[in-house]
């Protein structure tokens, strides 16, 4: 009986929150650092791989909530370049999970219904060939869709992205035969932004990080200069819709100043 009453009260609270949030301004680009899969598994006495599987299922739930609130762009950080240094068995399990999820997303009915497009951000050269193929196929299958854009940061590092953007600019300038003075004059914030992995996509206005860590760890380092941040103690697989709604409510209560 207590469990039933708790679910009833929780459901009513979630509905009230949802109605309130729907009336206010919402992020145009939401970034999420999915942290705490391993801690979640450890707390439940489960293998680390199970924690990542729970986390993958929560991603699908999050995307459905973002569709509900018509958030145009969502960027998810699922695997950093530093994560390659983890236990080889954990990395291998993660790679297989990425393939499994990429293949599932290509035929997902909700993705098709809502026209969800997927783009992968990061350095792909360190990924196994079958992982790269699965990700490229997912991008290809969804590239002409016009609904929400989901960017998956995988093999991603913020500093490395800026370095790669500078290299891309210099490479183009070299091919165009520009002189050193022309190259220097052409190196601006705009040219760096244009050459980032997600060049042309608006910067994130709101970033959520789970698990209690209060830092960006290099996530969208260039793009997040004026983002609003929200940190919470919940491990990623335990992230609930009510947590999502509370985060959005916090965003709506802020006055964005853009450094002014």
CA distance 150 to 75: 6
Token representation of residue 19: 């109605």
Q: 96 burial class (0-12, 13-18, 19+ CB within 10 angstroms)?
A: middle
Contact 77, 107 (CB under 8 A): no
Helical H runs in the chain? 2-22, 37-44, 48-68, 88-107, 109-113, 129-142, 158-175, 180-186, 189-194, 241-252
Question: Residue 35 catalytic?
Answer: yes
CA distance 68 to 103: 23
Question: Residue 37 catalytic?
Answer: no
CA distance 52 to 32: 16
SS3 per-residue string spanning 73-98? EEEEEEEEHHHHHCCHHHHHHHHHHH
Look at residue 214 and give its three-state secondary structure. coil
CA distance 98 to 104: 10
Rg of the chain's alpha carbons, rounded to an integer? 20
- The residue from 83, 108, 164, 243 that is catalytic is 83
Contact 190, 206 (CB under 8 A): no
- The residue from 35, 37, 205, 235 that is catalytic is 35
**Cα distance between the two ends of the chain:** 53
Residues labelled as active-site residues: 35, 83
């Amino acid at each position: 009986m207590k469990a039933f009453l708790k679910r009833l009260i929780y459901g009513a609270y979630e509905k009230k929150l949802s109605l309130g949030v729907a009336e206010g301004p919402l992020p145009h680009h939401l970034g999420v650092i999915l942290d705490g899969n391993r801690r979640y598994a450890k707390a439940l006495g489960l293998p680390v791989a199970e924690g990542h599987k729970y986390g993958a299922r929560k991603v699908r739930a999050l995307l459905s909530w973002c569709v509900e609130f018509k958030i145009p762009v969502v960027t998810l950080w699922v695997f950093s370049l530093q994560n390659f240094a983890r236990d080889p068995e954990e990395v291998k399990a993660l790679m297989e999970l990425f393939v499994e999820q990429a293949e599932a997303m290509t035929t997902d009915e909700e993705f098709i219904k809502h026209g969800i497009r997927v783009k992968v951000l990061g350095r792909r050269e360190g990924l196994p060939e079958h992982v790269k193929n699965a990700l490229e196929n997912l991008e290809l299958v969804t590239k002409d869709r016009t609904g929400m854009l989901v960017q998956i940061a995988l093999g991603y590092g913020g500093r490395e992205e800026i370095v790669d953007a500078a290299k891309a600019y210099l490479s183009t300038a070299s091919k165009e035969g520009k002189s050193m003075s022309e190259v220097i004059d052409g190196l601006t914030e705009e040219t760096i932004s244009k050459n980032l992995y997600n060049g042309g996509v608006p910067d994130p206005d709101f970033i959520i990080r789970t698990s209690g860590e209060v830092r960006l760890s290099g996530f969208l380092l260039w793009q997040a200069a004026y983002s609003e941040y929200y940190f919470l103690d919940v491990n990623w697989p335990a992230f609930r819709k009510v947590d999502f709604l509370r985060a959005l409510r916090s965003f709506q209560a802020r006055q964005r100043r853009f450094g002014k």
